């Protein structure tokens, strides 16, 4: 038996939207929908396939995942984790990542996904801001936690999945002593499930708090950009980290929910040839590949992947040449989609239902209302450029910014959530991206806010001021470039590499500048704000 799709009528886009209705649910829990119900009805059904770094393959059934998640939920409860507490997970694509999510949802706790490339500063901010009580990590990432733990008063328990260190608990040993039965708490769709941090341009990262309903909100878009997922024989993988919305809410949770085997693999750095062999060996049929991954695969000249049934991509427009290469390489049309951490997968393509338009993000997914607004907040006609906005209520939309009611209010105009992206709708109803209204940098599929990087750079004793912008890059779309004003009398020799490494170590390699330019001053507004747009203009 295949899982029932949320979209049944797929004759054409118009009839899909007209026929679609969100279910009216009083109770909804991600752990129940994504795993527990399968464990009861089809316990031996394959849920997860792990390709270890040593090449060994291990399969996990829904029953195995559910029992282990029950055990860890009981472990967390024994350590005092209760409903509403935050549980952070600092791991790559591993079974323990899945178990941490499921166990936390069973308790009504809130998961804080953390990217393993984050440095100490990036981790400290997110862990302190969220008030995370427990953390699950591994020995590779533990040193960063050890160095900042005394500045995290709320963090009482750290679990390591591959052994134990002083002051931590051994994840699997604790599970071995716990009961494998656990009742799922009674949660509704609006009860909080996870806290995903997003970068902005004016201040530190903001935590977008999502309810359990976020899974429901993602399913229509996932089903469409994977050409009516699920089909018999489907198997889903992405190289995108599960700490990001693209990996977590587009792949990990929907795959489990729809009964599609999920592939997990720890890939420290994307390798095009390795990606091809993984898909071939594990018979992957559905894949989400960020634009940068596609560009790297194209540059490497990877072989054809004949068994792929669907390829999805999002984050930046691919263009006609990339789409044609994708058809020739994968034997299927790449379906592009659009969304944000605050409200994801609201626009999509589906090649089996409508023709693709190069450069288009697709049409509004059934259940989601998207428009292009003018400065006064009214919808603009086809062809006119304005700000892309999403109407509430929407199950995929965030509940609030964690602890930031002011920023939550600023995100809306009436019932429309402002994305900060500009674009237009054509006569056929396809949305096209134009530019960003803020200074967020899109690099390798990541949305990077300059403020956190600038704060890190100015923390160096020799740096007086810093400004960060995105500059065009043929592979990454944009590369991070920093302009730095040094204190008087400081030499510039080799300091650029020191500053780049500082950002790599303290925040994350994926946000580190590719280039540092030393300047005598920076363009400023009358109120003392750095004019990043003026820096961009100076390079044109």
Write down the pLDDT at residue 528.
58
Gap between the Cα atoms of 310 and 224, Å rounded = 10
Residues of the chain with CATH 3.30.300.30: 441-539
What's this model's pTM, rounded to 2 decimal places? Answer: 0.89
Gap between the Cα atoms of 78 and 178, Å rounded = 9
Gap between the Cα atoms of 445 and 239, Å rounded = 12
Gap between the Cα atoms of 339 and 108, Å rounded = 26
Measured torsion, CA atoms of residues 79, 252, 49, 64, in degrees rounded to the nearest 10: 40
CATH superfamily of this structure's domain 26-43+56-211: ANL, N-terminal domain (3.40.50.12780)
Measured torsion, CA atoms of residues 498, 500, 504, 506, in degrees rounded to the nearest 10: 60
**Which tokens in the block code for residue 269?**
């750095």
**Which tokens in the block code for residue 511?**
């946000």
Residues of the chain with CATH 3.40.50.12780: 26-43+56-211
Write down the pLDDT at residue 450.
83
- Only one residue has tokens 């999945």, namely 161
Gap between the Cα atoms of 84 and 110, Å rounded = 6
**Which tokens in the block code for residue 91?**
């791991």
Cα–chain center distance at 462: 35
- Residues paired with 43 in a beta bridge: none
Integer angstrom CA distances of residue 482 from 225, 533, 534: 36, 13, 13
CATH of 441-539, one of 3.10.450.50, 2.60.40.420, 2.40.50.140, 3.30.300.30: 3.30.300.30
User: How would DSSP label each residue in 60-113?
Assistant: EEHHHHHHHHHHHHHHHHHTT--TT-EEEE--SS-HHHHHHHHHHHHHT-EEEE
Write down the pLDDT at residue 315.
80
| pLDDT tens, N- to C-terminus, the chain (540 residues) | 345 788 877 778 999 999 999 999 999 999 999 999 999 999 999 999 999 999 999 999 999 999 999 999 999 999 999 999 999 999 999 999 999 999 999 999 999 999 999 999 999 999 999 999 999 999 999 999 999 999 999 999 999 999 888 899 999 999 999 999 999 999 999 999 999 998 655 568 999 999 999 999 999 999 999 999 999 999 999 999 999 999 999 999 999 999 999 999 998 888 999 999 999 999 999 999 988 888 888 888 878 777 899 999 998 778 788 898 999 999 999 999 999 999 999 999 999 999 988 889 999 999 999 999 998 999 999 999 899 999 999 999 999 999 999 999 999 999 999 999 888 999 999 999 887 777 778 888 787 878 789 879 988 989 888 889 999 998 888 999 999 999 888 888 889 999 999 999 999 999 999 999 999 988 876 545 678 888 988 887
Write down the pLDDT at residue 203.
66
CB 373 within 8 A of CB 389: yes
User: How would DSSP label each residue in 381-446?
Assistant: PTT--EEEEEESS-TTB-SEETT-HHHHHHTEETTEEEEEEEEEE-TTS-EEEEEESS--EEETTE
Gap between the Cα atoms of 414 and 111, Å rounded = 30
Gap between the Cα atoms of 175 and 64, Å rounded = 13
Write down the pLDDT at residue 285.
97
Write down the pLDDT at residue 1.
33
Write down the pLDDT at residue 5.
81
Gap between the Cα atoms of 229 and 341, Å rounded = 22
Write down the pLDDT at residue 2.
42
Gap between the Cα atoms of 268 and 6, Å rounded = 34
């Amino acid at each position: 038996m295949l899982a029932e799709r949320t979209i049944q009528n797929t004759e054409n886009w118009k009839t899909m939207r007209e026929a679609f209705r969100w279910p009216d649910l009083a109770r909804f829990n991600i752990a129940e929908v994504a795993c527990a119900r399968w464990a009861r009805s089809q316990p031996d059904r394959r849920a997860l396939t792990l390709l270890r770094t040593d090449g060994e393959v291990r399969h996990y059934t829904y029953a195995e995942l559910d029992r282990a998640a029950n055990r860890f939920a009981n472990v967390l409860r024994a350590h005092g984790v209760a409903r509403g507490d935050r549980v952070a997970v600092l791991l790559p694509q591993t079974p323990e990542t899945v178990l941490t999510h499921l166990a936390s949802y069973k308790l009504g706790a809130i998961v804080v996904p953390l990217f393993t490339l984050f440095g100490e500063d990036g981790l400290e901010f997110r862990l302190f801001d969220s008030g995370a009580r427990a953390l699950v990590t591994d020995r590779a990432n533990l040193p960063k936690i050890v160095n900042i733990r005394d500045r995290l008063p709320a963090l009482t328990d750290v679990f390591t999945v591959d052994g134990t260190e002083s002051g931590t608990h051994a994840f699997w040993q604790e599970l071995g002593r716990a009961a494998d039965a656990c009742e799922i708490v009674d949660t509704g769709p609006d009860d909080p499930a996870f806290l995903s941090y997003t970068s902005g341009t004016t201040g530190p990262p903001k935590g977008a708090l999502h309810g359990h309903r976020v899974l429901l909100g993602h399913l229509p878009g996932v089903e469409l950009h994977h050409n009516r997922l699920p089909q018999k024989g489907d198997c889903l993988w992405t190289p995108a980290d599960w700490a990001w919305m693209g990996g977590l809410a587009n792949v990990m949770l929907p795959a489990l929910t729809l009964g599609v085997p999920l592939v997990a693999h720890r890939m420290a750095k994307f390798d095009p040839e390795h990606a091809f062999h993984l898909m071939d060996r594990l018979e992957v049929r559905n894949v989400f590949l960020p634009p940068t991954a596609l560009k790297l695969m194209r540059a490497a000249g990877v072989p054809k992947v004949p068994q792929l049934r669907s390829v999805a991509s999002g984050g930046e427009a691919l263009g006609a040449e990339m789409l044609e290469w994708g058809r020739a390489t994968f034997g299927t049309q790449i379906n592009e989609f659009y969304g944000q951490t605050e409200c994801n997968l609201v626009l999509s393509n589906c090649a089996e239902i409508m023709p693709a338009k190069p450069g288009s993000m697709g049409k509004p997914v059934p259940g989601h209302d998207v428009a292009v607004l003018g400065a006064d907040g009214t919808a603009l006609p086809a062809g006119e450029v304005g700000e892309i906005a999403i109407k509430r209520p929407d199950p995929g939309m965030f509940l609030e910014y964690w602890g930031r009611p002011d920023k939550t209010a600023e995100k809306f105009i009436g019932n429309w959530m402002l994305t900060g992206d500009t674009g237009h709708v054509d006569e056929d109803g396809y949305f096209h991206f134009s530019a960003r209204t803020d200074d967020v940098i899109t690099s390798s599929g990541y949305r990077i806010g300059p403020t956190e990087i600038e704060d890190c750079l100015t923390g160096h004793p020799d740096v007086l001021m810093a400004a960060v912008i995105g500059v065009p890059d043929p592979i990454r779309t944009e590369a991070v470039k920093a302009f730095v004003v040094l204190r008087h009398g400081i030499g510039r020799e080799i300091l650029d590499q020191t500053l780049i490494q500082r950002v790599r170590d303290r925040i994350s390699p994926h946000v580190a500048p590719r280039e540092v330019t030393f300047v005598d001053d920076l363009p400023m507004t009358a109120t003392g704000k750095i004019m990043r747009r003026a820096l961009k203009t100076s390079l044109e």
